[in-house]
Amino acid sequence: MAVLKTSGLRKTFGDFKALDGVDIEVEAGEVFGFIGPNGSGKSTTLRVLLGILQATEGKAEIFGLDAWEDAVEIHKRVAYVPGEVNLWPNLTGGEVIDLFIKLRGGKPDGKREELIRRFDLDPRKKCRAYSKGNRQKVALIAALCMDADLYILDEPTSGLDPLMERVFQDYVMEVKAQGKSVLLSSHILSEVEKICDKVAIIRQGKIIETGTLKELRHLTGTIVQVETKLPIAGLREMKGVSGVTAEDGVVSFQADTEELDAVMRHISGFGITRMDSSPPTLEELFIRHYEKADQPGGVD
């Protein structure tokens, strides 16, 4: 059974459609990556899921309960880190962590001190003295030291340095190993690639692609780099070939999976001297999706 499920989720602010049909589903033990640029609706979706905003239309459920009606019941088993962490300037980081733990009604499972040490946070400092990264650490520590079933994290590493990012990823893996679920919004695609099982791409309030990374890659095809004895003719016109560039005799392009066979046959006629192929990175996937959507007759 899905831990978290939205269907046909819509949210409007006045005339502005912030969410225009969001369907996502997170299973138990799954790390779900939610990617999209700024203003595409990631945070709005997470806020609806937390019952901070009420959906205009559609359903948002966590643990089979309604995100708006049963918010308090749900929150007992959810840990959340908002995208923009604003804290109380006159409280210390340690005080905020303790307050958050108590407000969730749970007991900390003894990881508080360990997390503070590993994230290298000084809990005696007032929040006004913290940098963005340190405020994020406070929220992350408070979230991770709770024994929750679902972790909703809104761009949790945007202010962290690479070392702290690693610490964060370790903890996500630990949580996942315990069979818990994570919904992680991000625009750091390498991170999503590293730790997420499933990915959804959102654009202007709509989910435009969702699936495992493998599925997404299958959909988009392979990146090919090739050197040939003779210049390759007619490649650009072939079906399923896109993004052709040539530099220093090396031709690179992207080939759709269904057409790969035909494309390779065509190229081999020009005498291959060297060839490389790789699955597209998430970044390439992402950019491809966005470029496709921007063309007339694209996703819109």
Quote the CA–CA distance of 54 and 288 in Å, as a whole number. 33
The residues in 13-32 that bind another protein, with binding defined as CB under 8 A, are none
CB of 32 to another protein, least distance (A): 18
Quote the CA–CA distance of 291 and 287 in Å, as a whole number. 6
Q: What backbone torsions phi and psi does residue 134 show, to the nearest 5 degrees?
A: -70, -35
Q: Where are the beta strands (DSSP E) in the chain?
A: 2-13, 16-27, 31-35, 57-62, 65-66, 78-81, 150-154, 181-186, 198-203, 206-212, 222-228, 241-247, 250-255, 272-278
Quote the CA–CA distance of 157 and 173 in Å, as a whole number. 15
The residues in 119-158 that bind another protein, with binding defined as CB under 8 A, are 122-126, 128-129, 139
CB of 205 to another protein, least distance (A): 15
Contact flags string 194-233 toward another protein, x per CB under 8 A: ----------------------------------------
Q: Does 72 bind another protein (CB under 8 A)?
A: yes
Type of residue at 292:
K
Q: Does 171 bind another protein (CB under 8 A)?
A: no
Strand order in the sheet with 198-203: 78-81, 150-154, 181-186, 31-35, 198-203, 206-212
Q: Does 88 bind another protein (CB under 8 A)?
A: yes
CB of 52 to another protein, least distance (A): 5
Q: With respect to another protein, which residue has the nearer C-beta, 97 or 208?
A: 97
CB of 53 to another protein, least distance (A): 5
Q: With respect to another protein, which residue has the nearer C-beta, 67 or 255?
A: 67
Count the site residues for another protein by CB under 8 A. 42
Quote the CA–CA distance of 25 and 165 in Å, as a whole number. 26
CB of 94 to another protein, least distance (A): 4
The residue to which tokens 């893996």 are assigned: 173
Q: Does 71 bind another protein (CB under 8 A)?
A: yes
Type of residue at 144:
L
Quote the CA–CA distance of 131 and 75 in Å, as a whole number. 27
CB of 19 to another protein, least distance (A): 13
Considering only 5, 104, 203, 217, the residue that binds another protein (CB under 8 A) is 104
Q: What backbone torsions phi and psi does residue 156 show, to the nearest 5 degrees?
A: -70, -20
Stretch that binds another protein, among 40-48, 173-181, 212-220, 277-285 (CB under 8 A): 40-48
Residue numbers at the binding site for another protein (CB under 8 A): 43-44, 47, 50-54, 71-73, 75-76, 78, 80, 82, 84, 86-88, 90-92, 94-100, 102-105, 122-126, 128-129, 139
